[in-house]
Amino acid sequence: MYHNPVLLKQSVDDLVTDQDGIYVDCTFGGGGHSKEILARLSEKGKLYSFDQDADALLNKIGDKRFTLINQNFRFLENSLLMHGVTQVDGILADLGVSSHQFDEAERGFSIRSNAPLDMRMNVMQSLDARKIINKYEEEHLADLLYHFGELREARKLARTIVHHRKISAIKTTEDLKKIFSFIPPHKQNKFFAQVFQAIRIEVNQELEALKEMLLQAYKILKPQGRLVVISYHSLEDRLVKRFLKNGMFEGEPERDIYGNYRKSFELLKTKATIPDSSEIEENSRARSAKMRTGIKL
């Protein structure tokens, strides 16, 4: 089941400024955001939506203004070019894992269900969570647990994984949880959420894909076009915030002759938009959501 999209009205309010315009939904999922965008467009308007998950294709919208592209949003520019589109009026990306993917136990995204270690958003790719846990070198495991899971004990955790996989292959989410039985019960939910997040980001190359999409989004947006991004953890939000501020992910941005930073975007609001308490009560996934909107200069 695809649950209600997060920050639906707020995101589409920020996004659609021209009812005759061309818009992109980078993360189609159950189609909630896409349907709302189409509701704001005239007969001349056009929407291109992306999703790499084959399950999302089942939700295709029957509307002549709508095109669904079965592709990772890291291929945004080339995929749109194949449809004759070089510039757009607005781009929306609702990042992370959909409720549907969490609810499909066999996909291995959820810490609540015992399932094969998978976590692939695109089930056609070869790299999955099982390969990472059982094949990655200890140092590589430690790095991804530290950087993507923000786990300070990453080296100890990586050693634990390597020790256990020598005894027996770690095949399921329950196998993985059992080897960390030393984590106190009151800390387990947060801990496993961080471990699963780290593995999932690596499986799907989520941060690299996000960087590539953001750079391409800037190129194809018209001047005054809107980029709206909803993120669910600090790693994503940091990248989005920095990119909207100065068009970069790291390093020092260029200054003009007056010493001012050269800006790529103007922020629509200085602070991130977050869901209110009623939306969080209705949809627990909304709890960690942060939305940022940039206007291309």
Q: Which residues are annotated as a binding site for S-adenosyl-L-methionine?
A: 31-33, 51, 73, 94, 101
Count of C-beta atoms within a 10 Å radius of residue 168: 9
> E strands within the chain?
22-25, 46-50, 66-69, 88-94, 221-231, 265-267, 290-296
Q: Return the bridge partners of 67, or none.
A: 48
Q: Determine the Cα–Cα distance for residues 45 and 280; give it in Å rounded to an integer.
A: 32
What residues form the annotated binding site?
31-33, 51, 73, 94, 101
Cα distance between residue 256 and residue 247, in whole Å: 14
* Amino acid symbol at 74: R
DSSP single-letter state for residue 253 = P
* Paired tokens of 255: 């200054």
Q: Which residue has the tokens 């609540």?
A: 112
Nearest of 60, 63, 21 to residue 42 by alpha carbon: 21
CB contact set of 33 (below 8 Å; sequence gap of 6+): 5, 8, 11, 12, 25, 27, 92, 94
Is 65 within 8 Å of 45 (Cβ atoms)? yes
Residue of 171, 169, 29 whose CA lies nearest to 104: 29
Burial 248-279 (b: 16+ CB within 10 A, else e): eeeeeeeeeeeeeeeebbeebeeebbebeeeb
